[in-house]
A and B are shown apart, each in its own frame.
Chain A
Amino acid sequence: KAGVTQTPRYLIKTRGQQVTLSCSPISGHRSVSWYQQTPGQGLQFLFEYFSETQRNKGNFPGRFSGRQFSNSRSEMNVSTLELGDSALYLCASSSSIRGNTEAFFGQGTRLTVV
């Protein structure tokens, strides 16, 4: 079974630009979550999508948005990039059929804002 795939792996953007990151979950997984990892902050929850609907949202500004497609693939968009948005963005998928299950992570997209 293929794992969670995130593209691109690396991105360099200029302050003020916008960026779109992509995530393909494990086949059959309908839940996709996004996390931001910065040094000293651990992984911070951004949002979770299930069946094309945002089900949970973390404490991030509205510049961070996402969506999920009917094939469960998800995209995350960050508009008006700031230097502090430089981070590793991780996507995780989960089967989430019933109860709690572990999340499986992709390798992440390293975003650098200059």
Chain B
Amino acid sequence: DQQVKQNSPSLSVQEGRISILNCDYTNSMFDYFLWYKKYPAEGPTFLISISSIKDKNEDGRFTVFLNKSAKHLSLHIVPSQPGDSAVYFCAASEVRNQFYFGTGTSLTVIP
């Protein structure tokens, strides 16, 4: 039973434009959400997180939005750069240090 879903396996965006990656979850008890970026043959790298008490968190080019009523999370990357091409995973947790991950979205930024 996949509690965190990323329904778009892939996304292609032109360099300089906005990339929007989406994530849905089913467990209303999740209270902490994260996005990770993963290159082939490497472990996931933490990007940005958000607590359920917020609806937005920004860090440079990356912004995460949380819509608790819709159980929806999104990551915006503006402007997108070719180096952003990677697989992006969203993750959620109810219990500290136990994360449920989505299946990932492969982002390709076209120069």
- Residues of A near B96 (CB, < 8 A) are 96, 99-100
The reply to whether A102 and B49 contact each other, CB–CB distance below 8 Å, is yes
Return the CB mask of B1-18 against A: 1 if under 8 Å, else 0: 010100000000000000
**Do A48 and B43 form a contact, CB below 8 Å, given A42-B102, A100-B31, A102-B34?**
no
Interface SS, A side:
strand
The reply to whether B43 and A107 contact each other, CB–CB distance below 8 Å, is yes
- Residues of A near B70 (CB, < 8 A) are none
> Size of chain A's interface in residues, with CB distance under 8 A?
29
- Residues of B near A103 (CB, < 8 A) are 46, 97, 99
A104 beta carbon closer than 8 Å to chain B: yes
The reply to whether B102 and A107 contact each other, CB–CB distance below 8 Å, is no
**Do A104 and B46 form a contact, CB below 8 Å, given A42-B89, A42-B104, A43-B89?**
yes
Most buried by B among A42, A48, A50, A107: A42
